[in-house]
Amino acid sequence: MSILLQALVFFLISLSTALVVGIPVVLASPGQWERLKNLIFGSAAAWSVLVILIGVFSSFVR
């Protein structure tokens, strides 16, 4: 169970880094927002799910 929690935290950190770098780039590029907004919203939803999953799994790991 501990390895699963560590993997989830790794994916959360990776996704957070990608979003912190990617969102300003997409917003600064002309015409990219319309093309990539579904990807950004999906990534934000995945980030939210990861935060909730980490909270649930951390209550089981001691």
How is the chain split into domains, by residue range?
A: 2-58
Quote the percentage of the chain above a pLDDT of 70. Answer: 100
* CB atoms closer than 10 angstroms to residue 8: 17
- The helix/strand/coil state of 61 is coil
Q: What is the pTM of this model?
A: 0.87
Q: What pLDDT is recorded for position 44?
A: 96
In CATH, what number does 2-58 get? 1.10.287.740
User: Across the chain, what does the average pLDDT equal?
Assistant: 94
Query: Residues 14-46, buried b or exposed e (16+ Cβ, 10 A)?
Result: ebeeeeeeeeeeeeeeeeeeeebeeebeebeee
Answer yes or no: is pLDDT of 2 > 90.
no
- At 55, list the tokens: 């909270």
Distance from C-alpha of 62 to C-alpha of 41, rounded to nearest angstrom: 33
* pLDDT tens for each residue of 18-38: 999 999 999 999 999 999 999
